[in-house]
Amino acid sequence: MLWALLFLVVGLLLLWRGADFLVDGAVSLAGKMGVSQLVAGLTVVAMGTSAPEVAAGIAATISDKGDIAIGNVCGSNIANLALIGGLVALIRPLEIRTSTLGREIPAMLGVALLLWPALRDLTVSRTDAIALLLVFGVLAVYTVRTARATCNGKSSDEHPPSDAPPQTVGNDVFLILLGLAALAIGARAALSGAVFIGGRIGLSDAAIGSTIIAVGTSLPELVTCVVAAVKGHHDISVGNLVGSNIFNTVFVTGVAALVRPFAVTARFAGGTDYRIMLGVGLAFTAAAIVGGCTIRRGSGVALLAIYAAYLIYLLQSAQPA
C-alpha cells in the first residue's frame, strides 16, 4: 500500500510538470506555425493527453474485456466535460469561442450519436472500427483547415505580443515531447497506484474500469486543462476537452476494435451509461450557451454535481457480486 501511495504521488507530480511543459510548448509552437491555440488544443494537446485511453482500450480488448474498453471511453468523456470542465470553470470561468460553439462542440455531440449504430448490436466489429476511424480522419482534416483559415485573418488577435524571450521551433517541439513523456509516465504511475488501492478496498473490475481507470486516463486532460486555465489559455482548455472527447469516441473505440472486435453490454449500447454521456455533453453545451459563450462558476458547480451523481450511480451498479 505504501508503494502504491508513492506511485500515486510521484505520478501526479509528473503529470503536473508534464502539463506545464506541454501547454507552454503548444502555445509557442502554435504562434510560430500561424495556427490558433484552439487548433493546438484540438490536435496535438488533445491527442497527446488521450494517449492513455488508447493504451487502456487496446489492453482491455486484448484481454477480452469490452465493457472496460467502452466504459473507459464513456467514463473519460463524462469526466472530461463534467469533472474537468466543472473544475476549470471554478478556477476561472471558461471562455468558449462562438465558432467553437457552432462547429467543434456540435461535432463532439455528433460523433457521440454516431457511436450508437456501432454499439447497438452489442458488438464493435472491424467494419465499425474502420467507419469510426474514417469519421475521425475527415473531422481532423476539416477542423484544422477551417480553424487555420479563420486564424489567418485574425493573427494579431490569436497571437498577442509576448515579453517572454523567443524560443526556436526545436525548443517548442522538445517541450511538447518532454511534456507528453512526463504525462505518459505520470499517468501510468498514478494509475497503477490507484488501481492497486481500488483493488485493496474491494472494488470490482467493472467499478475500477469505470471510475479509477476512466479518471486515471483522464488525468493528463485534467492537469493540462487546469494549468492552461491558470495561465489564461482558454482555447487550449476548450480544445483539449472537446478534442479529447472526439478522439476518445471515434479514434480510441476504432483502434481498440481494429485490434480486436469486442462485445459490450446493453448499458453502453444506448443504455444508461451511453445516455449519461450524451446528457453530460448536452449539459456542457447548455452551460456555454446560458453563460454567453462562457461556462461560469455556477455552471461549474452544476457540472461537478452531475459528476458526483454519476460516480454514485457507478458505485451502486458495479459492486462485486
- Distance CA(235)–CA(229), nearest Å, equals 9
Q: How far is CA 173 from the centre of its chain?
A: 21
- Residue 226 belongs to a domain with what CATH number? 1.20.1420.30
Residue 144, number of CB atoms within 10 A of its CB: 14
Tell me whether residue 91 is in a domain.
yes
Task: Give which of 278, 277, 280, 299 is closest to 290, Cα–Cα.
Answer: 299
| Residue 124 DSSP code | E
Residue 193 domain flag: no
CA 86, CA 205: separation in Å to the nearest integer? Answer: 27
Residues of the chain with pLDDT under 50: 155-165, 320-321
Residue 122 covered by a domain? yes
The answer to whether residue 73 sits within a structural domain is: yes
Give the range of the structural domain holding residue 87, as residue numbers without chain letter.
42-152+203-317
At 108 the pLDDT is: 94
Per-residue pLDDT tens digits for 16-27? 666 667 667 766
Residue 289: its pLDDT value, please? 95
Cα torsion 285, 289, 294, 298: sign: negative
Q: How many CB atoms lie within 10 A of CB 174?
A: 14
Q: In this structure, is residue 97 part of a structural domain?
A: yes
Smallest CA-to-CA distance from 251 within 82, 50, 117 is with 50
All cell numbers assigned to 236: 487550449
The pLDDT of residue 207 is 62
Q: Is 208 among the domain residues?
A: yes
Residue 170 amino acid letter: G
pLDDT attached to residue 321? 44
Kindly report the average pLDDT of the chain as a whole number. Answer: 79
Distance CA 222, CA 246 (A): 16
| Predicted pLDDT at 148 | 58
Structural domain contains residue 55: yes
Measured in residues, the chain has a length of 321
User: Which pTM does this prediction carry?
Assistant: 0.77
Look at the chain and report how many structural domains it folds into: 1
